[in-house]
Amino acid sequence: MYAPLPDDVRIAGRSLVDRDGLTLIAVFRNESYLLPAFLDHYRGLGVSRFVLLDDRSDDTSRDLLDDQPDVMVLESTRRYGDSVADTERPPTVRSVSGYRQIHLWRTALANWLCDGRWMIQCDIDEFASLPSGATLDGLANRLERDGAAGAWGGMIDLYPAHFDDLAQDTPAADDPRNGRWYFDGVRHFSLRRNGPPRHHYAGARSRLNRAYLPNARQFSAFEIWKLRALGARKSPAGRFVKPLLQKWRRGAWYLSSHETTLRLSHRVLIPLLHYRYTPALQAKVLWAMQSGGYSKNNSDYFTIDRLLSAMNEAKGSFLGDVSKEYTGHTDLVATRNARGLT
């Protein structure tokens, strides 16, 4: 059983259907803040074709993309969070209860454009980090020699030092690359032979919620020890691993945004720098709450809104005991959040 071809999707503008090379597929809405840096970053890592599905942006994202010769923009009659008919879901019971249009798009676009080819699927706020001089297509060649169908990505939240750094007059307001960023400098994940990586840390968002939100769930010393020592399928704040780099095969499926049916390497983990707490965040939160445009009834964005309000009132800091300034890929190697890339 194959995912249906994306008959709800049309090409808006130039067609790059027959273009060779490493492909990146992403779905976006109103990402004019991050798109220039995103395209520049992944071009530097070897991407030669960007397939970007626009979920009805109303900012300047499309104007920017119309000028990019290596970008093919798609449009759909459906929406990111739409439910999917039973006949369009993967032939498995796992994860189908929350199966949405984004998951079907990921599968169908890969079938259409990347059958038998290496591809990347990620979000616009996720920047893969590799050693200096390395490329994703070079890594793909090594994975293929090893007989692996791809590699996992592990999301590492980046954040500024203080709430005031989210203001529109700060260095990062026009380009995230101009900002000064921090991350929680502890091991987040471990690889395993059969299945997705294990989570060993609750994550920066969980730490911040516990620090600023009175109703946030607190953890016992035993729960923290258990998570660090044994790991879990997901952290208390969610799943932060995803199949990033894959040699797609028609007949494979995205079971969710965090897992496919392909067997990925248990030796390679690619850190994904997640630009979550940026000057563009507050506008995104406002849109999410007003429009209902994201998944799970926007619960994540309502939580972010409460967090930002509490931080603003307290003139709070994002920094904690484990915070470390991000200076480059070697920081991720040192904290065991990058594996098998050298």
Q: Which neighbouring-strand residues pair with 235?
A: 238
Angle between helix 299-314 and helix 204-212 axes, rounded to 10 deg: 60
Question: Which DSSP helix (H) or strand (E) runs through 113?
Answer: helix 101-114
Q: What is the 3-state secondary structure (H, E, C) of 51-85?
A: EEEECCCCCCHHHHHCCCCCEEEEEECCCCCCECC
Which residue reads 């259409």 in tokens?
112
Q: What is the pLDDT of residues 180-239, one digit of tens each?
A: 999 999 999 999 998 999 999 999 999 999 999 999 989 888 989 999 999 999 998 889
Check whether 93 has a pLDDT greater than 70.
no
Instruction: Identify the band that residue 97 occupies on the pLDDT scale cut at 50, 70 and 90.
Output: low
pLDDT at position 96 over 70 = no
pLDDT attached to residue 3 = 62
Assess if residue 208 is contained within a domain. yes
In a domain, 342, yes or no: no
d(CA 68, CA 196): 35
d(CA 26, CA 58): 17
pLDDT in the model for residue 271: 98
Does a structural domain hold residue 4? no
Residue 265 reports pLDDT greater than 60: yes
First to last CA, the chain: 38
Structural domain count of the chain: 1
Question: Is there a domain that residue 330 lies in?
Answer: yes
Residue 97 lies in a domain: yes
Position with higher pLDDT, 337 vs 296: 337
Local structure of residue 157 (DSSP, 8 states): E
Q: What six digits make up the tokens of 235?
A: 């952290």
252 in any annotated domain: yes
Residue 44 lies in a domain: yes
Answer whether residue 2 is part of any domain.
no
Domain that holds residue 72: 9-334
Please say whether the dihedral angle defined by the alpha carbons of residues 287, 241, 132 and 144, taken in this order, is positive or negative. Answer: negative
Is residue 202 classed as helix, strand or coil in its secondary structure? coil
